[in-house]
């Protein structure tokens, strides 16, 4: 149920709602993505939608633009229930979306992109002149001076985004959804985008604006809605609230119980990395001469923004990138060679994108768990896999990590995100590693599962595993790590211990590549 | 209270119905085989006579053997268009070895290898052709479709070149050369069942074991399901992929030997178009062309469905044209059902979840 959370807002009864959802519920295999959401969108306003990763924002938007069908519930436009079974339907109702990944054809011109799929034709032939004129008019409406004949590939990301907005306008969009529109933009481009958004508002267009950047949201929004774990937890006018309110609503009261902290003994040096370097194609470095040490029983947090080179650093360690150079010692023995050798020497990686890199979705839970350790399960002659050993290993791990699955032979795709993540961790553990590298292990899983992942990390650290924990969530990093490294543009820009690290320090180090500390001199 | 309990009951009831339907869908290849067999048995008395079944099985063996090799390739996410040509090349190699022997010009002698040697050398040639496929695909990053399409032409060309386009006929060998007995492979039998059928059974059992119980088999499934994950899990992707094409080459060479022996002659055009029937058997058997999903068992049954269908239609006097239309329709229908089953599984999972909420 919607609970009483909605009662505390002070929106006038007669405020004009253009679009609303009624008890929208969406199930995905293993998870409830949206749970009876009643979402209001106000006419001609900028409606911002916030929530943590996996809160259900994208799913809700996909339903509104006809990309995904809801399991239950209604979408009501101007007081009438509408049926959205395809993006075309939504477009016909005037609802358009601008995705994080821009869906433009880079090999075609601005005008061609704007009219792609709805070309203006004259006796079956595309009327280029008219398209050009119209495109120019639309661009002018948003005060943009770009030639519609320019190829999209020649535009900067910000300008490309404006082209997508123009494309939506050309299709008579009345409601425009923007999903993280500023994630790839520079500061000046953000300003331009905001001007365009205000322009849209002036023309009476309703905007739904999704973002992680809370300052942005408070600056541009008229109304704010907060989702948490698939539920709508709060809605209010932006003028009535502040940053603290947003954070509290987003994270909820469970924060204090989320993290697991236990004393564990930190032993001798386990992993020693020196001068690890990964050149970028076209000059510069993705990982720039990185050196660090990891001890037994230590959780080493690596913090940084997207694109700081953290995942690539782990890829270099596991050996999946052949261009990497540098030296790695595990328990004093130098490690090189291919991925298989490194896994056998005691490194294990739980990749960031579990569906793309961590799991074979067509295979069963059991087969995924044993995938990296088949050799250990062979019979005496070393010829074939012994099913007894297999069952035992799989069941042990399922129990140890409390993976919720009724039958290990069920397809891994049917599990919830959190349990899928645990399967990837199980696969790593079965290889009997000494160092476990976890890349954003809590991304897209619910709070309960996050807690369990943290518990597992603590348990492993207590057992003497060395753990490298990459995350972009400040609170996680600070609560879980014994030591924190901060990366920015491939360089380690800060090193802190648990006692000295603060949120402000980490954030500063993550954005400032010039404040190189601790003797990393290369640029 | 009462209302809710009856709806609950209703739901439970409908679930079992769905479960049954799902079971039928899962065993659909087998079901299809039963249906075609029963239909032809009713329409043509004597269809189920042992002699007729053996004849059909003999036809099926060729396709099933190619299908077994093809299953490995398709499971790994690839495709092998060259098997038909490798069949032809292998036949010509075997024929040449029997008729002309190996000329060792340095010593000025011609060695006529024993039949066992002929078989082994021919199989090695098949494996080599597969290895070339695999190397081109893994080392030079050529798409499997293109690489094996190239091999389709090259191997066929080599087959023709071997004897300038002529047939090697009368492959019975000569007692004085000690290379007689080749025809036994195609004509002989054990316990009344032809050698070719035994070979199919053995290949199928070994392949089944390999896919289910050897690390290599799991690796093949993993590569087809998600290449990146396989790589990051320490699977030697390139090596596995190469081996997969070598297995396919081996199976093709085996078929080349069987056909040459059955005809007691090797013709360079032997096996033309076989690759497509093999792919059809694999797909009919429920293996996904995207890779990662399917089984050897399914392929063998798929080959039988095609075999029974074709032989049955011949018995009933259908023209080749009609046969082709029916064959094509059945193959596409199989994939349609396959897709439907996938969607249905998804739906049922969600329904069960909704119930458990």
Is residue A517 very low, low, confident or very high in pLDDT (cuts 50, 70, 90)?
very low
By C-alpha distance, the chain A residue nearest B221 is A363
Pick from A361, A383, A414: CB nearest B225: A361
Mean pLDDT of A146-171: 85
Q: What pLDDT does B90 receive? A: 95
Instruction: Tell me the C-alpha distance between A403 and A415, whole Å.
Output: 9
As annotated, the residues of chain A forming the CATH 3.40.50.300 domain(s) are: 5-94+174-251, 253-346+435-523
Is residue A107 predicted with pLDDT exceeding 80?
yes
Interface of A with B in 363-392 (CB under 8 A): 363, 367, 370-372, 374-375, 378, 383-385
| C-alpha distance from residue A40 to each of A43, A234, B24 (Å) | 10, 11, 46
Query: DSSP letter at A410?
Result: S
Query: What is the distance between the alpha carbons of residues B286 and B75, in angstroms, rounded to a whole number?
Result: 11
Identify the pLDDT of residue A5. Answer: 42
- pLDDT the model gives residue B112: 80
Domain A253-346+435-523 CATH class label: alpha beta
- Mark which residues 230-289 of A lie under 8 Å from B by CB: none
Are B234 and A339 in contact (CB < 8 Å)?
Answer: yes
Secondary structure of residue A391 in the 3-state scheme: helix
The residue of chain A nearest to residue B347, with distances taken between CA atoms, is A29
| Locus of tokens 């802190």 | A496
pLDDT digits (tens, 9 = 90+) for A221-241: 999 999 887 889 889 998 898
Which range (A314-318, A445-449, B293-297) has the least confidence? A445-449
Place of tokens 């034709």: A121
pLDDT band, residue A474 (cuts 50/70/90):
confident
**Which numeric CATH code is attached to A5-94+174-251?**
3.40.50.300
Where does the pLDDT of residue B15 fall: very low under 50, low under 70, confident under 90, or very high at 90 and above? Answer: low
**B218, B226, B293 ranked by CB distance to A374: nearest:** B218
Distance from CA of A287 to the nearest CA of B (A): 19
pLDDT tens string A482-507 = 999 998 888 888 899 888 888 778 87
Query: Would the CB atoms of A367 and B221 count as touching at under 8 Å?
Result: yes
φ and ψ of B213, to 5 deg = -120, -10
Is the model's pLDDT at A182 over the cut of 60? yes
- What are the CA-CA distances from residue A490 to residues A290, A305, A314, A323, B153 (Å)? 8, 11, 12, 15, 49
- A427 and B233 within 8 Å at the Cβ level: the answer is yes
Chain B: give the shortest CA distance to residue A444, in Å.
19
Q: What is the nearest CA distance from A496 to chain B, expressed in angstroms?
A: 30
Q: Residue range A43-69: average pLDDT?
A: 85
ipTM above 0.90, yes or no: no
Whole-number Å distance between alpha carbons of A94 and A44: 13
- Cα B110 from Cα A267, distance rounded (Å): 72
Distant-in-sequence, close-in-space partners of B135: CB < 8 Å, separation ≥ 6: B242
Looking at the predicted structure, is the pLDDT value of residue A401 above 90?
no
Spatial separation of the C-alpha atoms in residues A417 and A414, rounded to whole Å: 9
Cα B161 to chain centroid, rounded: 27
Closest CA to A50 of A180, A210, A178: A210
Q: How far apart are CA A123 and CA A142, in angstroms?
A: 31
pTM of the shown model: 0.78
Instruction: State yes or no: pLDDT of A70 exceeds 70.
Output: yes
Task: Return the number of other C-beta atoms located less than 10 Å from residue A169's C-beta.
Answer: 20
Q: pLDDT at residue A79 above 60?
A: yes
| pLDDT given for residue B22 in this prediction | 67
Q: How sure is the predictor about B19, in pLDDT bands with cuts at 50, 70 and 90?
A: low
Mean pLDDT in residue range A91-119: 83
* DSSP assignment of A346-380: TEEEE-S-IIIII--TTSBHHHHHHGGGGGGGB-T
Contact A2, A24 (CB under 8 A): no
Q: What is the pLDDT of residues B227-237, one digit of tens each?
A: 888 988 888 89
Element (H, E) at A246: helix A243-251
Which among B233, B349, B356 is the top mutation candidate for probing chain A, defined by the most A β-carbons within 10 Å of its own β-carbon?
B233
Rounded average pLDDT over B140-156: 94
Classify residue A378 by its DSSP letter: B
| Residue A321: closest C-alpha in chain B | B232
Q: What pLDDT digit, counting tens, does each position of B60-95 carry?
A: 999 999 999 999 999 999 999 999 999 999 999 999
- Taking CB atoms and an 8 Å limit, are B218 and A356 in contact across chains? no
In chain B, domain spans: 61-295
- Tell which wins on pLDDT, A83 or B357: A83
Partners of residue A372 in chain B, C-beta under 8 Å: 233-235
Confidence at A368, pLDDT banded by 50, 70, 90? very high
Contact call for A371 and B357, based on CB within 8 A: no
A15: tokens are 């405020």
Query: Which pLDDT belongs to residue B260?
Result: 93
Task: Find, among B240, B207, B209, B192, the residue nearest to B66 by Cα.
Answer: B207
- Does the CA dihedral B198-B201-B207-B212 come out positive or negative? negative
Percent of chain B with pLDDT over 90: 42
* Chain A residues within an 8 Å CB radius of B214: 383-385
Helix (H) or strand (E) holding B276: helix B274-284
Tell me the mean pLDDT in the region B294-303. Answer: 92
State the nearest Cα–Cα gap between A66 and chain B, in angstroms.
19
């Amino acid at each position: 149920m919607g609970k009483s959370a909605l009662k505390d807002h002070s929106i006038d009864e007669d405020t004009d709602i253009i679009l609303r959802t009624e008890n929208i519920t969406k199930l995905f295999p293993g998870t409830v993505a949206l749970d009876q959401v009643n979402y209001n969108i106000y006419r001609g306003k900028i409606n911002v939608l916030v929530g943590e990763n996996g809160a259900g924002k994208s799913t809700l938007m996909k339903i509104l633009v006809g990309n995904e069908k809801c399991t239950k519930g209604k979408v009501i436009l101007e007081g009438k229930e509408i049926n959205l079974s395809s993006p075309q339907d939504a477009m016909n109702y005037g609802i358009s979306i601008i995705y994080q990944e821009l869906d433009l054809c880079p090999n075609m011109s601005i005008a061609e992109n704007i009219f792609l799929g709805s070309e203006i034709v004259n006796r079956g032939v595309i009327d280029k002149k008219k398209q050009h004129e119209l495109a120019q008019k639309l661009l002018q409406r948003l005060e943009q001076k770009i030639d519609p004949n320019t190829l999209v590939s020649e535009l900067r990301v910000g300008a490309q985004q404006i082209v997508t907005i123009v494309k939506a306008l050309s299709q008579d969009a009345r409601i425009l959804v923007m999903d993280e529109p500023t994630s790839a933009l520079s500061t000046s481009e953000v300003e331009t985008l905001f001007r365009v958004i205000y322009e849209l508002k002036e023309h009476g267009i309703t905007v739904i604006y999704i973002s992680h950047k809370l300052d942005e949201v408070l600056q541009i929004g008229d109304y704010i809605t907060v989702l948490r774990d698939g539920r709508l937890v709060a809605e209010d006018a932006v003028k009535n609230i502040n940053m603290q309110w947003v954070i509290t609503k987003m994270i909820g009261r469970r924060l204090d119980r989320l993290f697991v902290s236990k004393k564990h003994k930190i032993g001798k040096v386990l992993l020693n990395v020196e001068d690890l370097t990964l050149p970028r194609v076209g000059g510069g470095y993705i990982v720039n001469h990185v050196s660090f040490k990891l001890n037994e029983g230590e959780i080493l947090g690596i913090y940084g923004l997207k694109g700081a080179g953290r995942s690539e650093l782990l890829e270099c360690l596991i050996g999946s990138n052949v261009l990497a150079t540098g030296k790695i010692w595990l328990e004093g023995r130098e490690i090189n060679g291919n991925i298989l050798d490194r896994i056998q020497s005691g490194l294990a990686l739980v990749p960031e994108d579990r569906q793309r890199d961590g799991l074979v979705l067509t295979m069963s839970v059991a087969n995924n768990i044993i995938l990296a350790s088949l050799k250990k399960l062979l019979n005496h002659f070393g010829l074939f896999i012994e099913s007894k050993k297999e069952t035992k290993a799989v069941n042990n791990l399922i129990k140890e990590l409390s993976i919720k699955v009724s039958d290990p032979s069920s397809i891994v795709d049917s599990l919830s995100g959190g349990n899928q993540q645990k399967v990837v961790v199980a696969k790593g553990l079965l290889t009997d590693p000494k160092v476990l590298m976890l890349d954003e292990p809590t991304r897209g899983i619910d709070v309960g599962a996050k807690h369990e992942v943290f518990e597992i990390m603590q348990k492993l650290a207590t057992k003497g595993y060395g753990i490298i924990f990459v995350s972009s969530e400040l609170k996680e990093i600070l609560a879980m790590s014994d030591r924190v490294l901060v990366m920015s543009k491939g360089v380690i820009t800060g090193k802190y211990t648990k006692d000295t690290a603060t949120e402000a320090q980490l954030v500063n180090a993550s954005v400032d590549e010039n404040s190189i500390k601790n003797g990393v001199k290369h640029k | 209270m009462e209302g809710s309990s009856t709806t609950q009951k209703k739901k439970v009831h409908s679930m079992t119905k769905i479960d049954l339907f799902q079971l039928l869908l899962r065993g659909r290849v087998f079901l299809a085989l039963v249906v075609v067999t029963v239909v032809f048995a009713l329409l043509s008395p004597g269809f189920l006579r042992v002699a007729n079944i053996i004849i059909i099985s003999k036809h099926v063996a060729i396709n099933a053997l190619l299908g077994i090799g093809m299953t490995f390739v398709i499971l790994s996410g690839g495709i092998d268009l060259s098997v038909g040509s490798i069949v032809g090349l292998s036949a010509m190699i075997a024929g040449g070895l029997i008729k002309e022997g190996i000329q060792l010009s340095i010593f000025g002698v011609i060695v006529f290898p024993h039949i066992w040697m002929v078989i082994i050398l021919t199989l090695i040639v098949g494996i080599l052709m597969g290895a070339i496929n695999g190397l081109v695909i893994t080392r030079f990053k050529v798409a499997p479709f293109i690489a094996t399409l190239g091999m389709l032409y090259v191997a066929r060309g080599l087959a023709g070149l071997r004897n300038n386009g002529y047939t090697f006929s009368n492959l019975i060998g000569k007692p004085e050369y000690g290379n007689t007995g080749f025809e036994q492979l195609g004509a002989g039998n054990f316990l009344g069942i032809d050698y070719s059928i035994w070979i199919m059974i053995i290949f199928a059992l070994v392949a089944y074991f390999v896919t289910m119980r050897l690390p290599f088999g799991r690796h093949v499934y993993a590569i087809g399901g998600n290449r990146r994950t396989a790589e990051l899990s320490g699977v030697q992707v390139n090596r596995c992929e190469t081996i997969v094409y070598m297995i396919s080459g081996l199976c093709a060479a085996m078929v080349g030997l069987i056909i040459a022996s059955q005809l007691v002659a090797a013709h360079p055009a032997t096996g033309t178009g076989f690759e497509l029937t093999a792919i059809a058997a694999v797909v009919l058997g429920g293996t996904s062309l995207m890779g990662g999903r399917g089984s050897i068992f399914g392929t063998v049954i798929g080959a039988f469905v095609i075999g029974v269908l074709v032989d049955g239609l011949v018995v009933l006097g259908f023209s080749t044209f009609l046969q082709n239309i029916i064959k094509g329709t059945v193959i596409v229908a199989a994939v349609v059902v396959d897709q439907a089953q996938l969607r249905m599984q998804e739906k049922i999972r969600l329904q069960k979840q909704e119930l458990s909420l």
